[in-house]
Amino acid sequence: MADEDKNDVDLLGMLVPRQRAKPRQRRGQVIFTGSPEDLLAPSPEAASNEEGASASESAGTDKRAHGRLEVRPIGTPLGLRELAALHRRTWNNLNVQEKRVHMLLWPLALHFGLYQIKPGQEKRRPPLIGAFWARCLADAPLTLGHLYPAALFKDMMASDVWEFGGMVIDVTYQGRGLVKLLSDTARIFLFSRRPKLLITNPVEPLYEMYKQFGLKTVGNKPVDHPHAYNVKVWLMYGRFDELSKPYFM
pLDDT digits 0-9 by tens, 79-113 = 999 998 998 888 777 676 666 655 677 788 999 99
- The whole-number average pLDDT for the span 189-217 is 90
Are 38 and 75 contained in the same domain? no
pLDDT higher than 70, residue 40: no
Q: Is residue 166 part of a domain?
A: yes
- Confirm whether 3 is domain-assigned: no
CATH number, domain at 197? 3.40.630.30
Measured CA to CA, the distance from residue 243 to residue 236 in angstroms comes to 13
Domain count across the chain: 2
Burial of 127: CB neighbours in 10 Å, binned 0-12, 13-18, 19+: middle
Banded pLDDT at 12 (limits 50, 70, 90): very low
Segment 209-238 shows an average pLDDT of 88
- pTM comes to 0.70
Same domain, 78 and 130: yes
Say if residue 42 is in the same domain as residue 96: no
Radius of gyration (C-alpha) of the chain in whole angstroms: 24
Shared domain for 107 and 60, answered yes or no, is no
Domain of residue 60, residue span? 34-66
Residue 56's pLDDT band, with cuts at 50, 70 and 90, is low
Same domain, 58 and 168: no
Q: What is the pLDDT of residue 53?
A: 55
pLDDT of residue 9 exceeding 50, the answer is no
Whether residue 24 is contained in a domain is answered as no
Residue 11 counted as domain residue: no
> Which pLDDT does position 154 carry in this prediction?
92
Output the pLDDT for position 20: 47
Establish if 152 belongs to a structural domain. Answer: yes
pLDDT of residue 112: 94
Which of 17, 44, 66 is where one domain is finished?
66
Q: Is residue 51 domain-shared with residue 93, that is, in the same domain?
A: no
